[in-house]
Amino acid sequence: EFGHWIVGKLLGNDMTYSLNNASARSGHYIDASHELYVSIGGPAFTILQSVIFFFILRKYRTIYVYPLLFFPMFMRFFSLVFGGFSKQDEARISSILGIGSYPIAIIVLLLLFLFVLSASRMFGINLKTNSYFITISVFCQLLVIATYKMFL
């Protein structure tokens, strides 16, 4: 959500921010085109975050950064599969651009997956080990969902 919020602020919008949402406080953006840019902010921030962690992994060869690379990929996958595809940023961006529902989601997931795959190979992390990361990630994601629903 930070990616959406920062893009909205940079464009001059008065933004609100919560655990699962960032939007214009007034309910609409200063300019209609800002909806596209703010929507792009989320996936762009996720990709940027993954690029940074990937290069930290490559430069310092430290396994401790791997979860920071894995979790963004998992979060996007989890949200797209279980969160209602049409409600996700990637589907909204594709719709605004008029290119169908799936292209942006496929591109984002593929990029994030390739970073994780490359890092897994770099450190010899196999499918069994990644299944532990998946299990922990599901647990963390469910905690976030439960916490969010508690405060609604």
pLDDT in tens, 112-121: 999 999 999 9
Q: Is the pTM of this model over 0.85?
A: no
> Would you list the domain boundaries of the chain?
2-150
User: Which secondary structure element, helix H or strand E, spans residue 11, and what is its range?
Assistant: none
Q: How would DSSP label each residue in 24-72?
A: ETTSS-SSTTHHHHHHHHHHHHHHHHHHHHHHHHHHH--GGGHHHHHHH
pLDDT tens column, 34-74? 888 888 898 999 999 999 999 999 999 988 999 999 989 98
